[in-house]
Every structure is written in structure tokens, then in C-alpha cells.
Structure 1
Amino acid sequence: MRDPFIWAVATAAYQIEGGRETDGRTPSMWDAIREIPGRIKDGSSKEMSCEGRKKYKEDVKLIKSLGVTHYRFSIDWSRVMKNGKTRNPTGMEYYKDLCRELRKEGIQCIVNLFHADLPLDLYNEGSWLTEEIIPYFVQFARYCYEELHEFVSIWVTFNEIRMHAWAGVVKVEGEPFHSLDIDYKKFLGEVSVARAVMVASRNMLLAHAKVYRLFHEKNDACRVGIILGGHACFDADGETVSSVSERATKSMVHLYLDPLLHPSNDWTGGVREYLGEDLPPWSEEEKKLIKNTVDVMCFNYYRPHIVKEGKGPSLVEQIFNFTMVDDDWPKIGGDSSWVRLHPQGLISLMEGLRGKEGEQKYPNVPILISENGVNDDPSLNSLDDTNRIRYIGEHIDAILEARRRGVNVIGYTAWSLMDNLEWDDGFEVRFGLFQVNLESEEKTRTPKRSAEWYKKKIEKERREEDQ
């Protein structure tokens, strides 16, 4: 008998909380990024926010109104650890209060420890380029576990580990610019950008593994996961998978799964062939540490990619010898949206984890879809978001069909509860089930049509699951 399917909605601390100086919070790297003229595309001020820190009780009521079973949120490291290093009980009390409110409403917590917002002091001291950051992350995680473990259903160490390694530490060609562009040579010497990215990747994977071991020492029944970007890649027809599209998927997904779950517990051959000396090695002790340190495999999925042979302009395309090409999948969030409607890409990715027939590529670890959603279509009334209903609906239907076919997928998470700071896009790109009026003093939340639809969809699917 399978456990009941998880129905969730998600946010991230820095994207909704505000309260930059509340609770004795100290600055994060994103506070510094937002102070740089021109870095936030809509020009919104560093003070603008959804005020989620202040309005958490109201927001829990919104979560309850959706009928979800779980709420995925992240912890602002800078709020609970001053400068990333010293415990701040006042900041932690906010998260305890939030968890108490959620429990009162019968909602379980999926807690994401790190979602892009590194404490500024730690960023300036080398970010993920140095191993010195790992004990600080473990210390932060230990504090969160000690204070919040009674409330948490699933722990997640990192949100989209590849995205942060490639976009949130140094500036990398072809990736979003989500960093302060640290001088990596100051910490690593005369090495390539690729080497810097892979050193950061290795240190984050080690930090994940140490937290996994710590939490399981405290409670072997706890569940600890890590979030990857769900980057399925296809050939030009949008359906076929060949050596080039497999290679592209490997560069974005398996590069990070292989050390954790592949039998070798190492960077695998397909990665070594292209990265060569830019891959930092694992010691035998480290391989034992990271082995099988995933209880829940989490994917954020918004779109797949079409690729062809030949080196494109971005660093990852140059290294792995592929080029991303335009696709004709529906731009369901408007002409400028990067999101595409193609649920089959997610199914292909999940089924591909099992390998070809007769092959078990990875252990049959449960899969959680940890983010999926689309921005408002500017051509539609923002409250009448039929594009979001279509997008979420088609993905849910495909996921449940895959589950019926034996894919070990245990839950779905809509992104996002409310319109929020979409990083360097600012507040103009809106993914929320609830609209936020940023001009109002109360930052009023208003349900979009998709909020009521999601509630009814969950009710329908839960009834059918119970039959």
C-alpha cells in the first residue's frame, strides 16, 4: 500500500519574507545584489517585499484554503545565524511560530535549508569555493534540526544545487547572473571558470552528505532530500533521445546524481570525458560519506530543452559539446516567458532515472516534484489565469499517469503560493496562485482563479486515490 500522494505549494524565504533587519537578521548576498543599480530588471527597490515575515499567519490560512497536505518553504540562514555563524534565537522563533501555525492547520512541513540566499559574510569569505564553508552549513543545519525537527516531514538541503553552483557563486557565460561575481582566483589560484564551478559543486555535495549523516544519526527514520533542476533534453523533433541529448541531460542532472546514487559514487565516465582535469577528485573516505545520501529525489520542472551537436555559446554547451536550439512548444506564460508546456519532458526524465530496460541506473528512490508552475500571461487578466490552470493541470495528469505506470513519484508541488521576488526579474514576473498588491500598505493577497481550481483538483484526486 503506497503512502498518500503529497500535494504541496512552495515559497522561498528571501523571495517572500521581507523584514531585512527584523529579528536581528544580518545581510545575505541577495541584499547586496539588490543594492547594485540595474541588477533587478524591474527596478524595484531593495525594500520592496511581500512582507511574508509579518503576514505569516494570514499566509498559513491561504495555504490551508488550497487543501494541500504540505508546505515547502526555506530557512533564511541570515535570519537564524548572525553573519551565517552565530545562533540567533529571535530569528529561529519566527520559523517555530510558522511551523506551529502550520501544524495547527494540519499542514506538514517540507523544509529547504538553502535556497540561494547565502549570508553575505560567508560569500565574501569564498562562498562555496572553499571547504571552510562546510562546517558553517552543518552548524546551521544542526540548529534547524534541533529547533524544528518535530514539525518536519521532509528535509531538503539545497534547492537546485546545479543552478547555485553555476549561477550563484561566480559569473558564468550563458547562466543567470545570480552572484556578486567573486574573484575565484583569489581562493583557487589560476584555474578555469569550469574548475571553480565544479569545486563549488563538490563542496555543496559534501555539505549535503554531512548534513544527511548528521540528521540520520539523530533519527534514522527522517527523510532528507536534495533538489535538482528537471532539465530533460531532446533532439530536434522534441521526442527522440540520442547521444547528444543524453549528454546534455547528463551535464545538468546526472552530473550531481552520480556521486550520490550511482554505484561508483563518483563523477562518471560521460562527465570525466568532457570536464577532465576541471573535475576535483573525491577521496575514498569522501565517496563513503556521500554514498546513497538521498531519501527523496526532488526535481523542479518548468521545461525541457532541444539540443543538437556542436558547441553553443554558453560554458556548459562548450564543455559538453551541444547547442540549445529554439523549440515550438507552447510559450504558455506569454511571448517572453522561458517556461514551456511539455509535461512529457518530466515523465521522460523520471523514467530515464530507471535506465534502459533491464538496467537500474539509480536506486528506486522516491521522487518529489518540488516546483512546477508558470508565470502570468501578460495578455490575460492576471486573476483569470487560465494558462496556469492548463499548465499545472496537464503536468499533474501526466505525473499521476506515470505513478500508475510504476514510477515512484510521491508528490507534486505548485510554484508558487504567491507572486514574489523572482530574483533578478524582480516582481514583474508573477508565478503565484495568489496575487500580491505590492502598492498596498497591507500587501493584500487576492486568490487567482488557479487557487480555487487547484483546491478542487486536489479534492478530486484525493477522492479517487481513496477509492
Structure 2
Amino acid sequence: MEALQHSFSPPAGSVLWRRQFLVGVATAAYQVEGAVSADGRLPSIWDTFSATPGKVLHGDTGAQACDHYHRWAEDVDLLAALNVDAYRLSIAWPRVMDAAGRPNAAGIAFYRKLLQRLKDKGVRTSVTLYHWDLPQHLEDTGGWLNRDTIYHFADYADLMSRELAGLVDFWSTLNEPWCSAMLGYGTGHHAPGHADLGAANQAMHHLLLAHGLAIPILRRNDPASAKGIVINVGRGTTDGATPADQHAAELFELQHNDWVLDPLLRGRYPARLHTELWPQAAPNVRDGDMAIIAAPLDFIGINYYFRTNVRDDGEGGYVELPLAGVERTQMGWEVHPDGLCDLLVGFHRRYENLPPLYITENGMASDDKVVDGAVIDGQRIAFLNRHLAAVDEAVRLGVDVRGYYIWSLLDNFEWAFGYERRFGIVHVDYATQRRTLKRSAELVRDFLAKRRSMA
């Protein structure tokens, strides 16, 4: 473990040494851009939510964030200097369209300049259309509970894929629909702050429908790019000894993983979801909906962070019971690399039509500080080493994984946790906006430079 905290040197034969295996970094618009009212940008649900007292730690908002909207050129230079193959970013829907659905030229120009500079630097581009920042005016008419929102999303996907055709290597429709549905509509922990399981299930259905409608539009407008979706997955295990406890772990993964993957890859929701777990929460599904959702994909992005330990709750469901004595991050999440391998191999064996996979987010938060001009983030270095070893093992077992993106390039606005939790491999001093490479960034940079020299 000690050695893993001071080096980033994958063993010979590791998938990381393959030049075609993408190594990248990722961000999201609301978390880094700031400039929330600049150049015609409209309010999003996260502007509203973060401005509501008690919703975000310390009352933080994304109003300034990393000021990436103004500092994008230097940020591109910074990530290019890290020698990464690819950059994953998202487009802020409220920045590129007005309330009537008309294009906002200034917002579109921002993304065109950003993507062109990335191309000029030789960095491949991975663009997510929806990373949680729904325009507030759409939430005012029901948000993802209103079926009309899926058609607004299709119009948005059409506009952006026409405007940015040729500048995008990978289009992702949605980021983590589980979080949008469950945290935004089921528990209220995220914007827009609703707390109803029935609403979460209906929101999920509309999110997946929006995805399904967008895929053929992206294919038509930008045929040379790859099209997919990004999902967050969770490993559920139990330390309980009873069959009921094992059943509880299965139910955890059913609602966290199968709820999204089954409709995407099998054209149906898992039956147990609405018979065993949420019998009163089934969404309204119209004829033809599931065929739309199951549109063929070029890839699926996998976001993985931690394992969850559960036990039977005595009522046929599950209750989360955190394990004691395990390594955790600043978020309180257990560090469990084997869970990533287990999930990847499980998906590979379960879904015959599983497309190629990219690890589109993996990383950890720590309380990083600049000391004498340096940030020594040993736990993160070990975290990356161990999770990349887990990806290696999955590839050895037959899983088609083609890339890995570190979350995140920059410390940023971490949603309901504000600015306290730092996920970046680059430290951001929010008062001065000074960027400082952490030791993890330096090691990744040096490894990728060595890999290039050997190509």
C-alpha cells in the first residue's frame, strides 16, 4: 500500500500501456464553469436548489465554481500538458437555448471554441448533453415528471449535434440517470428536491425516453462520432449470514444497476423492481416507449466510486449498514476496487449485447491542501493504482473496456457538498482561482509521457 501512494507505474502487460486505451480526465459544466448569468445563460435547477437555504453544505453555489467559463483556454492548456488522451465535459443546456427553444449564439460559441482548442491540442472530446442542470423554466412545468421535457431534450440534442458536428468524438446523452431520478425526485438530496419514489420512477422513465429519442438524432447529425450514455453503478454486498441478507444485496444492485441497464439493453424494466421492491411506484409506460429506450449504443460509460454494505430490513427490502474498519474517502465512501471488477465482469456475463465500456468517472475526494507549493495526495494515488488494477483484471476476464477517465480534472462544486470535498487531481484555490498540480496529476502526466515515447 505504501508503494502505491508514491508511484503511478502500471505493470508490464497492463491495459494502460496500450496506446489505443484512452486515459482521460472529466468535469461537468455546473461544477466548473461559473458565470451563471453570463451571455444569456438561463437559470438551472441547480442554481435554484443551491440558492435555497439548507440544501448545500455551507450555502455554497455554483455561481463562480472554477470560473472555467472565463479560464477555459488556460484549463485546456493545463490538461493538454498532462498528456491525457481525452477530456470529458458537459454542455450546460441553459447556456445554449432560450426559454422558447431558440439557439443562444454566445453559449454555443463558447463550446465550439472549447472543443476546437481541444482538437487543436490533440485531445479527444467526450461530450455529455445532460449532467443534471435542467433549465429551471422546464422544471417550472414539471421537469422530468412532464413527458413534454423529453421532446425539449430531443430538440436540444438536435441543435447541439448540428452545431458541434465534427468536434465531438463521443456523445453521451445523460450522466447518471439514477442520480437524477433517485436523488432529485426520490430522496430530495439533489435538485429539484422532490422526495417521492413514484416520482423517481416516472422521472427515470422520462430520462431514459429522452436518451432513446436523442440517439438517432445524434447518429443523423454527427455520424462519425460514437453515441452512448453514462451510468453510475453500485456494488452491493452483505456481511449478513442469512439468505434474506443475500437477497437484500441483490435488491440493492437491482435498483442501482438493473433499473437502468435492463431497459437500455433488454427493452424492459426488471420485473422484481415493481413486484418486490417498489410495488406502488411503477411508472406510466406507453406503447412503444421501451423500444425507443433500447436504441442501439456504441458504448456505455461506467461511473464507479464505492461499495455499499446492506442487510435485510425485516420487510423484504434492505437497509444500509456501513462496515467498520475499512478505508474511506473524505466523502465517507468505502474504497473497494474489487467492486468495480465484480460489476464489470457481471455485466459482461449477463448482457449478451453489452457494448464497449469506458470508465467515465472514477476518483476520490480528500482534504487536500497546498503545503510549500505542493499537494501530496497519497491516498488518491493509491486509489487510482488499485482501481486501474481492477480494470486490468476485468479486461483479462474478457470485458471490453476501452478507456478510463479520472474524476476530476479540477477540484470543483461537489453538488450538495459544495466546495469542501476535493476530487480534483488539480487543486483549485477558490479565492484566487490558482491551479496547482497535485502529486497524482504529476505522476499521471509522467506516465503518459513515457507511454507516448514508447509508442
| TM score, norm. by length of structure 1 | 0.87
Q: Distance in 2 between matches of 1:3 and 1:279?
A: 45
Q: Within 5 A, what are the aligned runs for 1:47-446?
A: 47-83=63-99, 85-168=101-184, 170=185, 172=186, 175=187, 177-181=189-193, 193-220=196-223, 222-236=225-239, 242-262=246-266, 265-274=267-276, 275-310=278-313, 321-328=317-324, 330-334=326-330, 337-355=331-349, 360-377=350-367, 383-440=375-432, 443-446=433-436
Q: Is the 8 A contact 2:368 2:427 kept in 1?
A: no
The code of the aligned residue for 1:410 comes to: R
SS in 1 for 2:296: coil
Q: Is the 8 A contact 1:84 1:140 kept in 2?
A: no
Which of 244-253 and 451-460 deviates more? Answer: 451-460
**Cα 1:289/1:38, change in 2 over 3 Å:** closer
Deviation, 1:292, is 4.1
Q: Within 5 A, what are the aligned runs for 1:24-43?
A: 24-43=40-59
Deviation, 1:410, is 1.0
SS in 2 for 1:86: coil
Deviation, 1:38, is 2.9
SS in 2 for 1:72: strand
Q: Distance in 2 between matches of 1:5 and 1:65?
A: 19
Structure 1: unaligned runs, 5 residues or longer: 185-192, 312-317
Deviation, 1:237, is 7.4
Q: Is the 8 A contact 2:298 2:355 kept in 1?
A: yes
The code of the aligned residue for 2:431 comes to: E
Deviation, 1:176, is 5.9
Q: Distance in 2 between matches of 1:384 and 1:19?
A: 31
**Cα 1:167/1:19, change in 2 over 3 Å:** same
Q: Distance in 2 between matches of 1:47 and 1:285?
A: 41
**Cα 1:455/1:121, change in 2 over 3 Å:** same
Deviation, 1:327, is 1.8
Residue equivalent to 1:448: 438
Deviation, 1:438, is 1.3
Runs of 4+ in 1 over 6 A off after TM superposition: none
Deviation, 1:215, is 1.6
Deviation, 1:22, is 1.2
Q: Is the 8 A contact 2:409 2:424 kept in 1?
A: yes
User: 1:263-287, CA deviations, whole angstroms, 9 ceiling, x for partnerless residues?
Assistant: xx11122223223352125344223
SS in 2 for 1:353: helix
User: 1:206-256, CA deviations, whole angstroms, 9 ceiling, x for partnerless residues?
Assistant: 100000121223455532211211201112179x99433222101101111
Q: Distance in 2 between matches of 1:303 and 1:329?
A: 15
**Cα 1:277/1:270, change in 2 over 3 Å:** same
Deviation, 1:330, is 3.9
| Structure 1 vs Structure 2 CA RMSD | 2.5
Alignment of 1:15 onto 2:31: yes
